[in-house]
């Protein structure tokens, strides 16, 4: 087959990966010279721990397995099975962790409640004040800023892959064919539109105005090298409020008895933190849902995150080197992992994984390939 993939973010690139590895020819078209959206502006976390039970967790676990296998083939991904720790300070926070550990799918996630000493044995960089921690062994990480380039290099070596950057697809012409803004028509046996947060223009024309996907904006930052190894990803208990795996009566009690800090509540915040291969820390994030989005970044969330991180590390953060905002596409039906829709003969739209995109993209693309009979 000849597969046309529109979009070079992680979801599009994983569709290209599966097609090439199943023996097909792929043309991947990207409107930027290289991907520059949410696929690069994220933590690079393969985040199993907080996923909803059922299909979402199954997708994340399958994706975790696929990421590890791809990482063996593509060292440039920087895949590492680092796991994650969520340090805990209060009885209300510990109760939420205990409810998570009691889930029937806790073993699949690798949940374990650790004492502070046990947590520091896993991650010695956590020298701050806490009394326990939730460990999730199945969490992992890759390098988001270089992963797409490493995957593209591997795909090019197959001899069945063509990358066309700096081209925006403007229309669908006939069956399984698209025309780009250079006037070139690309015809295949299937077209997969993986356009991320680009939901206007052609996507609106094809899917209509009622596409059940919204755009979400976030702020993040990255530090200079820490000077020591952060052996795991790190979250804070505000992540319990954000991820569906932690919904329980204990979480209701946490919300009632220990409200979020005002800045965290205003900006819908949680702490997630992962160390890059160069030693710096990627730290975030905020969530903004109302349009139009702000065009600037706000300082108060960064100050809040700095205080939380320093309290866990027991030391000052290195200098903040980068600050940025990003936008991703998220299904408005929270029970769906991704929106997958045939929009024309031979043309499918795959979008809206939200914050699950980096985690779940290999399994999302595998499902598309299976359903389309690649």
Closest by Cα among 143, 134, 156, 160 to 49: 134
Q: Could you tell me if residue 5 is inside a domain?
A: yes
- If asked whether residues 172 and 222 sit together in one domain, one would say no
**Do β-strands 25-30 and 213-223 pair in parallel, antiparallel, or remain unpaired?**
unpaired
Instruction: Look at residue 100 and tell me if it is in a domain.
Output: no
What is the sign of the dihedral through the CA atoms of 96, 283, 130 and 266?
Answer: negative
* 295: in domain: yes
Do 160 and 263 fall into the same domain? no
Residue 11 lies in a domain: yes
Residues written for the chain: 374
Task: Say yes or no: 319 and 358 in one domain.
Answer: no
The pLDDT value given to residue 29: 98
Q: What is the CATH number of the domain that holds 279?
A: 3.30.9.10
In a domain, 88, yes or no: no
pLDDT averaged over 10-residue windows placed end to end, the chain, 374 residues: 97 98 98 91 95 96 98 96 98 98 97 98 98 98 95 97 97 95 97 95 94 96 98 98 97 98 97 97 96 94 98 98 96 91 97 95 98 95
pLDDT digits (tens, 9 = 90+) for 97-154: 999 999 999 999 999 999 999 999 999 999 999 999 999 999 999 999 999 999 999 9
pLDDT of residue 334: 76
Residues 194 and 234 in one domain: no
For residue 3, being part of any structural domain is answered with: yes
The verdict on 184 and 276 lying in the same domain is no
Torsion over CA: 332, 336, 337, 343 (sign): negative
Q: What is the CATH number of the domain that holds 343?
A: 3.50.50.60
**Same domain, residue pair 175 and 268:** no
**263 and 366: one domain?**
no
Tell me if 108 is assigned to some domain.
Answer: no
Both 317 and 357 in a single domain?
Answer: no
Residue span of the structural domain in which 341 resides? 1-81+140-209+337-374
pTM: 0.96
**C-alpha–C-alpha distance, residues 71 and 79, integer Å:** 5
pLDDT recorded at residue 125: 98
**Burial zone of 354 (CB within 10 Å; 0-12 exposed, 13-18 middle, 19+ buried):** buried
Do 228 and 305 share a domain, yes or no?
yes
With contact defined as beta carbons under 8 Å apart, do 47 and 180 qualify?
no
311 and 341 assigned to the same domain: no
Counting the structural domains of the chain, the total is 2
Do 185 and 295 lie in one domain? The reply is no
The CB-based long-range contact list for 294-298 (8 Å cut-off, 24+ gap) reads 294/217, 297/219, 297/323, 297/324, 297/325, 298/219, 298/267
Residues 24, 37: Cα–Cα separation, whole Å? 27
The reply to whether 92 falls in a domain is no
Q: Do 191 and 125 have their domain in common?
A: no
């Amino acid at each position: 087959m000849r597969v046309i993939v529109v979009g070079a973010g992680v979801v599009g690139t994983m569709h290209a990966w599966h097609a090439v590895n199943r023996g097909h020819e792929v043309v991947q078209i990207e409107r930027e010279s290289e991907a520059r959206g949410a696929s690069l502006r994220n933590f690079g976390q393969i985040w199993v721990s907080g996923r909803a039970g059922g299909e979402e967790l199954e997708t994340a676990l399958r994706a975790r397995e696929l990421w590890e296998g791809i990482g063996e083939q593509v060292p440039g991904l920087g895949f590492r099975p680092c796991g994650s720790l969520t340090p805990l300070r209060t009885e209300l926070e510990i109760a939420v962790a205990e409810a998570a550990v009691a889930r029937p799918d806790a073993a699949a996630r690798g949940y374990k409640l650790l004492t502070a000493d046990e947590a520091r044995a896993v991650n010695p960089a956590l020298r701050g004040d806490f009394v326990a921690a939730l460990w999730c062994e199945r969490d992992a990480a890759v390098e988001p800023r270089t992963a797409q380039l490493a995957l593209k290099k591997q795909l090019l070596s197959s001899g069945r892959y063509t990358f066309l950057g700096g081209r925006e697809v403007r229309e669908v012409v006939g069956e399984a064919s698209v025309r780009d803004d250079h006037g070139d028509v690309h015809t295949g046996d299937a077209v997969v539109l993986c356009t991320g947060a680009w939901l206007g223009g052609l996507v609106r024309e094809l899917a209509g105005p009622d596409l059940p996907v919204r755009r979400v904006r976030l702020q993040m930052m990255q530090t200079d090298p820490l000077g020591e190894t952060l052996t795991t990803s790190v979250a804070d208990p505000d992540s319990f409020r954000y991820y569906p795996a932690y919904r329980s009566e204990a979480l209701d009690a946490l919300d009632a008895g220990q409200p979020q800090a005002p800045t965290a509540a205003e900006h819908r915040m949680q702490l997630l933190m992962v160390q890059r291969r160069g030693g710096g820390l990627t730290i975030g994030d905020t969530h903004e849902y109302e349009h139009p989005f702000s065009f600037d970044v706000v300082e108060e969330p960064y100050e809040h995150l700095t205080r939380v991180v320093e309290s866990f590390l027991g030391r000052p953060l290195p200098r903040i080197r980068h600050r940025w905002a990003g936008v991703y596409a998220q299904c408005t039906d929270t029970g769906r992992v991704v929106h997958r829709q045939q929009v024309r003969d031979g043309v499918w739209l795959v979008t809206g994984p939200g914050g699950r995109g980096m985690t779940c993209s290999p399994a999302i693309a595998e499902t598309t390939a299976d359903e389309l009979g690649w």
